[in-house]
Amino acid sequence: MKRVACINGYWSTNIGNAFYNLGAEYVLKQVFGDENVHMIFDQTAYINHGKKNIPQALDYIAHLNVDYVVLLGPVLTRNFLRVWRKTLDTLQKRGIGYMILSAGMMKNNGQAMEEICKYFKENPPYAVTTRDRDTYEALKDSVERIYDGICFAFFVPDCVKPVSTDLQPVMAVNFDKIDEPEIFMDIDRPSDISFDFDDHRIGMKFKGLFARVGLKTDRFTDALVYLTSPLPRGKRPEKIGNYTVIRTDHRFSPMFRRKAFRYANSVCADVPQTYANIYAEAELTLSDRVHACAIALAYGNRAYLFAKTGRSALLTRVGAQGIEDHPVAIDLEKLQVEKQNLIAYLRTVIHTQ
């Protein structure tokens, strides 16, 4: 049986990375067997926001004795070749292949994708599975073995079984890019956004230019989020209606307590299982993070995404259309078929070499 090194990490800077990392480990073990899957830390470039690897760092990945190195997630950025070309070329000379699974683009950068596709002709990946339709369309003519797949985060319920708490019913609120809006239930007062949830009417009030701008952008300046976090804020309730509110922050590092633990019932951790447990238990998740919504949907719950981002395509890929306009849930039976088909595809391409 072939051996693979699954490249993963940077959980503390964005716990969303851990979700598709855990899913990838589960999927690869279904394909290659438990003993043949090795989880290896990522390139040092992502310490520097993905621009270039640290010169003094050992290129440990290039020295691995495996059959394939597996890259994960939204690695297809404008800096992809700067970060990965040397390593992948070294692996090619050693007779070691590579795959890109749950592949995505941070942004649809045409010039960058042209350069990446050109490189794929020189050093082709053995297989690629994508997490959204846009990435599949961008790569389908440049990769021989490519599959229109889903984000591996949707496999988290297969490997993380939640435990219940005495906090039910729960609402998860996750705003990492802007300050948490005021959220109220069944109260007649002006709101910026309102929607029906079960038999309730929920209103939300966003305050300040920072919130209005942040909601309309793909990403907002991390520095500004941290700089504004010490500013005075109004209190937020522990309950909204009968729902216990759990407030998650996906960025454990750099840790700034005034940001991560600003309001009551805050949770911030550097391990993903706690977050999975919260989103599994929450009947509704309100978030500006794509992967918070992905995990909530994967466990069969409803989610509402408050961010205009091309990365939300990984949510619509599994049937979450409209998630940027109102709470949605997805068809878990259809999701199960997608997951089974993806694993079957990987087994086929690996065992028919």
Q: Do 256 and 287 have their domain in common?
A: yes
Work out the average pLDDT over 204-227.
66
Q: List 267's β-bridge partners, or say none.
A: 248
In this prediction, residue 309 carries a pLDDT of 86
Residue 44 contacts residue 175 (beta carbons within 8 Å): no
Give this prediction's pTM. Answer: 0.95
Q: Do 142 and 107 have their domain in common?
A: yes
The rounded distance, in Å, linking the Cα atoms of 87 and 65 is 13
- Closest C-alpha to 92, from 56, 121, 53, 131: 121
Question: Per-residue DSSP letters for 249-262?
Answer: -S--SS--HHHHTS
Q: Do 241 and 200 have their domain in common?
A: yes
Domain count, the chain: 2
pLDDT 10s digits, 260-290: 999 999 999 999 999 999 999 999 999 999 9
Please tell me which residue, 109 or 30, carries the higher pLDDT value: 30
Confidence of residue 93 (pLDDT cuts 50, 70, 90): very high
pLDDT at 96 over 70: yes
The rounded distance, in Å, linking the Cα atoms of 73 and 339 is 16
In this prediction, residue 178 carries a pLDDT of 82
* 19: CATH: 3.40.50
Work out the average pLDDT over 156-169.
97
Please tell me which residue, 221 or 322, carries the higher pLDDT value: 322
Per DSSP, which regions of 9-56 are E strands?
37-41
In this prediction, residue 340 carries a pLDDT of 98
Tokens of 71: 């890259």
Portion of the chain with pLDDT greater than 90, in percent: 83
Tell me phi and psi for residue 348, to 5 degrees. Answer: -65, -50
Tokens of 150: 């889903």
Structural domain of 115: 4-154+336-351
Q: Do 207 and 258 have their domain in common?
A: yes
Residue 101 contacts residue 129 (beta carbons within 8 Å): yes
Portion of the chain with pLDDT greater than 70, in percent: 94
User: CA of 133: how far to CAs of 41, 129, 130, 140, 253, in Å?
Assistant: 28, 11, 7, 10, 32
Q: Do 176 and 318 have their domain in common?
A: yes
Work out the average pLDDT over 74-95.
97
Report the chain's mean pLDDT, rounded to a whole number. 93
Tokens of 39: 């989880």
In this prediction, residue 210 carries a pLDDT of 56
pLDDT 10s digits, 41-59: 999 999 977 789 999 999 9
Q: Out of 152-156, 172-176, 178-182, which region has the weakest mean confidence (pLDDT)?
A: 178-182
Tokens of 222: 């991390």
Q: Do 295 and 183 have their domain in common?
A: yes
Q: Do 79 and 213 have their domain in common?
A: no
DSSP 180: P
Work out the average pLDDT over 10-38.
98
* Adjacency order of strands within the sheet including 97-103: 37-41, 4-8, 68-72, 97-103, 127-130, 146-147
Q: Do 202 and 129 have their domain in common?
A: no
pLDDT at 213 over 90: no
Q: Do 345 and 316 have their domain in common?
A: no
Confidence of residue 347 (pLDDT cuts 50, 70, 90): very high
- Closest C-alpha to 174, from 298, 106, 241, 269: 269
In this prediction, residue 218 carries a pLDDT of 52
Q: Do 207 and 313 have their domain in common?
A: yes
Q: What is the 3-state secondary structure (H, E, C) of 200-221?
A: EEEEEECCHHHHHHHCCCCCCC
Q: Do 177 and 308 have their domain in common?
A: yes
Q: Out of 35-39, 110-114, 241-245, 318-322, which region has the weakest mean confidence (pLDDT)?
A: 110-114
pLDDT at 77 over 60: yes
Q: Do 308 and 347 have their domain in common?
A: no
Angle between helices 110-122 and 80-93 (to 10 degrees): 10
Helices (H) and strands (E) in the chain, counts: 12, 15
Amino acid letter for position 47? I
